[in-house]
A and B are shown apart, each in its own frame.
Chain A
Amino acid sequence: MAQVKEYIGKIKPDWCPGCGDFGVLNSLQRALAELDIAPHNVLVVSGIGCSSNLPGFIHSYGFHGLHGRSLPVASGAKLGNHALTVIATGGDGDGYGIGVGHFVHTCRRNIDMTYIVMDNQIYGLTTGQASPTTEKDVRTKSTPEGTIELALNPVALALSCGATYVARGFSGDNLHLAQLMKGAIEHKGFALVDVFSPCVTYNKRNTYPWFRERVYKLEDDQQYDPADFRLAMEKAFEWGARIPIGLFYKVERPTYEDEEPALRSGIPLAKQPLERADLAALMEDFI
C-alpha cells in the first residue's frame, strides 16, 4: 500500500476551516493509497466551484476546466488513454445544475470512471444562492422567500440513467467514505459517489449535526441488497428523519471501452502506434 502523503498536492486547500470538502479530499487520498495507484496514472478532472479546486490539492495529473463540463473532458481523457484512473470531481451546482445534461449521458455511456460530487446544497463560491439540491422552501440569498422548485435527487437520477455504481457518503465519516470511493474506483463502469459535504459558511441548515442525526448506513441493514434496482430506487427517495448513505446499487455491465472495437486490443488509444494509415485502401472507394 502506498502512503497517503504521496497523494498530497503542493497547493494548500483554500476551503473554509471545517468545510466538508476536506473530508472528501482526505478520503480520496486514502482510497488511492489503499489501491496503490501511482499518482502519475491518476487524472482528476473538475469543473468550477469551491469543490472543483480539489485537483490542485492532490498529487496527480489534473484538469481544472469549465463550470459544469468536467464529465466531457474526463470522458475524452479516459477514451484517449483508458489505462488512466480517471476521477471527476465537483459540486452540486456544477454537476446537477449547469452540467446535468452531461451527467445524464455519462451515466448511460458507462465509461469506466468515478464521479465524486461534493453536495452541499448551496452555491458556496458565489456566496450562498440556491442550488439544484437545495430543499424546497429553503431561504437563500437568491430565494429570500424560499425555493419554489423541488430538489433534484442525484441518486435516483443516476440510477434511472444507467449508472452502474451509485453510492452516497458523508464527509463526517471519512473511513466509510473512503471505502465507497475505493469501491467506485475499482468498479468497472461509471460510478457516482454523491457526498454530503456541508458548507459551514453559507448553509446553516444542512450542517454536520443535521446529517449526523439523520444518516444511517445501508450496509447495516442485513436485508439490503445493492444488486436490487427496485430497492435502490426506493431507498433513493428516503429523505427526512432518516437518510440512507452507503452503496445503493452496483451492477456489472460492459463499459463503453469494452464495447469500442478500437480499444479491444487493450492498448490505450494514446499509446497505439500511429501507423501510416493505409489511405490508399480508403481512397479506393472514391475512384
Chain B
Amino acid sequence: MVDYVFRVGGEGGEGVISTGEMLTLALARAGFEIYTFRTYPAEIKGGHASYQVRASGNLLLSQGAAVDVLVAFNEEAYQKHIKDVRPGGVVIYDSDSFSAAAHDSTICYSVPLTSLATEKVGIKLTKNIVALGVLAGLFDLPVATFEELLKDRFGRKGETVVQKNLLALRVGIEHAKQIKRRDAIRLGAGPRKTKELVLSGNESLALGAIAAGCRFYAGYPITPATDIMEFLARELPKIGGYVIQTEDEIAAIGAVLGASFAGKKAMTATSGPGFSLMTEMMGLAVAAEIPAVIVDVQRVGPSTGMPTKTEQGDLYLACYGGHGNCPRIVMALNNVEDCFYGIMQAFNLAEQFQMPVVVLSDQYLGHRKATVPVPDPSRVPVVERRKPQGKEMADYKRYRFTPDHISPMSIPGMEGGGYIAEGLEHDERGYPAASDHENHLRLTQKRYGKFVEVEAIANDLVRIHGEPHPEIGIIGWGSTEGVIREAVQMAQAKGYSVGAIHPKILYPQPLAKLREFMQGTKAVIIPEVNFTGQFATLLRKRFAYDFIQLNKCIGLPFTPKEIFDKIEEVAAHVHGGRRVHAAKL
C-alpha cells in the first residue's frame, strides 16, 4: 500500500506553504488519506518554513517519520531536512539556488526551478508551481487534479494568471521526463472513491461550533488560534450569526459571558497568553454558573514562548487557573475529525452543566490538515440549558438547590425571571451572601456536585487502542492520540502486550475507566508534549501508581517511533513484558 511522506522546505513567504497546501489537496482529491504537519517562522517574511504531507491509502494516525521526498527551495532547507530523508529517498532541489553535495544514501535530482520559472514561464514566482509539476511528472500524480486546483485557486485573479500557472505546471511535468530516474516512488490514483473533506483542526472545530448552535463569537487575534475567528467571521454571517473582535481577551470572554447570559450560545478561542488573561472571567462563569466555551489552541510557553510551535503546557492552567474553589470542565481534542464532534460535546456540556468548558487543542492539531469523512452533526444531539418551567417561575430562584445541582436558568426578557448573575457568593436567589459562612459551603458543594454527572460522562468518552487490559499501558491526552495509536500498533506487531487509553475529559478525570484500564498493568507510560508531565501530576493525585513519564519539550510533536522506543525500553525492564506466543514476526 502506498504510504509516502513529502516535505517542502524554503524561505517563509516564498510559496512553501502554498505548495504544500496544493499538494495536500491534490493528493486528497486523488483519493489518498492525508496528514500534514506545518512548521513556519514566527516572522511574517523570511525565516524557514516547511510543510509536510503524508499520503497513504490507509487511515493515517501520525505525520510519519522518515521523509520519502524532500523539495528544497534553498540550501537552508536542504541542510535542515536532509537528515530526515530515509535511505533511498528522493531530494529535489533548486539547482539555481545551490548545489547539493553528493549524498550517499539519497537520490538527488537537481532541477533549475528558478530558471525554468523565469525563462519558460516568465514569472519567477511560479517556481513552486514548476516544482509541483515536477512532482506530478515524476511520481505519477493526477495532472487533471492539479489543473483543476490551479483554476480554483487563481481563477479570481483572471485568466492570464491561470494560464501562466498551468504553463508552469506543464513546464515542470515536461522537465520531469528528462530526469534520469533512480527511484521507484509511484502514486497513481488513491483507493478512496468517496469524497472527503480536507480540514485543519481549527477549521473542523469552527464547523463543529456552528453545528452545535454557536452563533456568537468574540475573540482577539493570537497565533495559532486566529484562523478560528477568521473562519467564523467569514461563515457565521451566512447563517445568522456573527463575530466581534474585541480589544483584548478579557473583553472577548466578557462578551461571551454576556451573550450566553442573554441566551445565545457563544465561544471564544485563544492561545496561552490570552487564556491566562481569561482566568478571572472563567472564575466568574463558575460562580455565576454561565455556560461558556473557551478554546485554547496551545503553543509553547511560558510568556510569549514560541508562538508558532506546539506544546501541551496549559493543562494546569485549564484545570486550576484562577482563584478560589473553582470547578470547570476541561476537555482535549484528539484529532481533526474529533475537533468537530468534540467541540459539539463541549457546547453540550457547557449548556447542560452551566459552567465554563475549556477545550484544549494545540498548534500541531489546529494547523494540520487531514482528510476526514464528511461530518455528520446528528451524531451528537444538541443539548440546550435547563430553563424554568411553569411553577418554577412563580417563585423563581436562579440558583435553586436541586438533586443534580443544576438550576433552571431564566433568560433576560422572561417576565418574572429577573435575577442578578452574581460573582459575589450568593444564596439560591442570587442575592449576595458574602458573610454567610454555611451558605458558602452549600453553594461550593452545589458547584462541585455537578462533577458527579460530568465524571460519568467522562467515563463514556474514553477511547482505548490496542489491548484493553495490557501489561504495558499508555495514558495519553489530546493531539497525541494518533501517534500513540500508531506506536501501539508497532509494539503489538512486535508482540508486546500494549494498550492505550485516551480520555477526552481531563477534568474531572474518568477515574473508573482509568482504574479499570490500569488494573493488571505492570507499567504505565504517560507521554506528554511538556516538561513536567502535567497530566501525570494530576493523575498522581488520584492514583497511588508509579507512572513512567515520557516528555518532549522542544516545540515539536512526538513521532510514533519515540513512543515505541519508550515501550521497548519499559518492556525490557518489566518481567514478562514480551509475550512470546503472540509474536508474528
Interface centre among B196, B419, B420 (most CB of A within 10 A): B420
CA A260 to CA B423, docked complex, whole Å: 31
CB of A188 within 8 Å of the partner chain: no
A62 touches B375 (CB 8 A): no
Task: Return chain B residues, CB-CB under 8 Å to A64.
Answer: 420-424, 432
B418 touches A55 (CB 8 A): no
- Interface segment among B111-119, B262-270, B354-362: the answer is B262-270
Task: Return chain B residues, CB-CB under 8 Å to A281.
Answer: 238
Closest chain B residue to A45 by CB distance? B258
Taking A77-B261, A80-B266, A272-B215 as contacts, is the C-beta distance between A61 and B418 under 8 angstroms? yes
Q: Per-residue CB proximity of B393-421 to A under 8 Å, as 1/0?
A: 00000000000000000011111111111
A63 touches B261 (CB 8 A): yes
CA A172 to CA B289, docked complex, whole Å: 38
A105 touches B247 (CB 8 A): yes
CA A55 to CA B412, docked complex, whole Å: 14
CA A11 to CA B512, docked complex, whole Å: 46
Q: What is the CB-to-nearest-CB distance from B251 to chain A, in angstroms, rounded to a whole number?
A: 4
B420 touches A62 (CB 8 A): yes
CB of A74 within 8 Å of the partner chain: yes
Q: What is the CB-to-nearest-CB distance from A37 to chain B, in angstroms, rounded to a whole number?
A: 12
A80 touches B211 (CB 8 A): no
CB of B49 within 8 Å of the partner chain: no
Task: Return chain B residues, CB-CB under 8 Å to A261.
Answer: 237, 242
CA A64 to CA B425, docked complex, whole Å: 11
B197 partner, pick from A262, A278, A287, beta carbons under 8 A: A287
Q: What is the CB-to-nearest-CB distance from B86 to chain A, in angstroms, rounded to a whole number?
A: 31
Q: Per-residue CB proximity of B211-223 to A under 8 Å, as 1/0?
A: 1010110100000
B235 touches A282 (CB 8 A): yes
A283 touches B375 (CB 8 A): yes
Task: Return chain A residues, CB-CB under 8 Å to B255.
Answer: 72-73, 75-76, 79
CA A76 to CA B417, docked complex, whole Å: 20
A73 partner, pick from B254, B264, B411, beta carbons under 8 A: B254
Q: Per-residue CB proximity of B230-250 to A under 8 Å, as 1/0?
A: 000001111111101011101
CB of B284 within 8 Å of the partner chain: yes
B236 touches A262 (CB 8 A): yes
CA A275 to CA B411, docked complex, whole Å: 20
CA A101 to CA B263, docked complex, whole Å: 26
Question: Interface range on chain B: under 10, 10 to 19, 20 to 34, or 35 or more?
Answer: 35 or more
Q: What is the CB-to-nearest-CB distance from A9 to chain B, in angstroms, rounded to a whole number?
A: 9
CB of A25 within 8 Å of the partner chain: no
CB of B377 within 8 Å of the partner chain: yes
Task: Return chain B residues, CB-CB under 8 Å to A283.
Answer: 197, 207, 374-375
CB of B280 within 8 Å of the partner chain: yes
Task: Return chain A residues, CB-CB under 8 Å to B203.
Answer: 286
CA A102 to CA B374, docked complex, whole Å: 41
A262 touches B418 (CB 8 A): no
A41 partner, pick from B413, B420, B432, beta carbons under 8 A: B413
CA A63 to CA B259, docked complex, whole Å: 12
B256 partner, pick from A66, A76, A275, beta carbons under 8 A: A76
Q: Per-residue CB proximity of B183-196 to A under 8 Å, as 1/0?
A: 00000000000011
CA A60 to CA B241, docked complex, whole Å: 27
Taking A10-B431, A11-B431, A59-B418 as contacts, is the C-beta distance between A274 and B281 under 8 angstroms? no
Closest chain A residue to B235 by CB distance? A282
A270 touches B240 (CB 8 A): no
B420 touches A272 (CB 8 A): no
Task: Return chain B residues, CB-CB under 8 Å to A59.
Answer: 418
Task: Return chain B residues, CB-CB under 8 Å to A4.
Answer: none
A69 touches B281 (CB 8 A): yes
CB of B199 within 8 Å of the partner chain: yes
Task: Return chain B residues, CB-CB under 8 Å to A270.
Answer: 259, 262-264, 411, 413
CB of B210 within 8 Å of the partner chain: yes
Taking A72-B250, A272-B215, A283-B197 as contacts, is the C-beta distance between A84 and B413 under 8 angstroms? yes
CA A275 to CA B375, docked complex, whole Å: 18
Task: Return chain A residues, CB-CB under 8 Å to B422.
Answer: 64
B418 touches A60 (CB 8 A): yes
CB of A144 within 8 Å of the partner chain: no
The 5 closest A-B pairs by CB, nearest first: A76-B258, A72-B254, A76-B255, A80-B262, A80-B259
Binding site for A on B (CB under 8 A): 29, 195-199, 203, 207, 210-211, 213, 215-216, 218, 235-242, 244, 246-248, 250-264, 266, 280-281, 284, 288, 374-375, 377, 411-424, 431-432
Q: Would you give 26 A-B contacts (Cβ < 8 Å), ordered by A?
A: A38-B415, A39-B418, A40-B412, A61-B418, A63-B288, A64-B423, A64-B424, A65-B421, A72-B250, A72-B253, A75-B244, A76-B266, A77-B258, A79-B258, A80-B264, A101-B247, A102-B251, A105-B246, A262-B241, A269-B215, A269-B240, A270-B259, A276-B377, A279-B375, A282-B210, A286-B203
A80-B260, A105-B251, A270-B259 given; 4 more Cβ-contact pairs under 8 Å: A43-B262, A61-B418, A66-B423, A270-B413
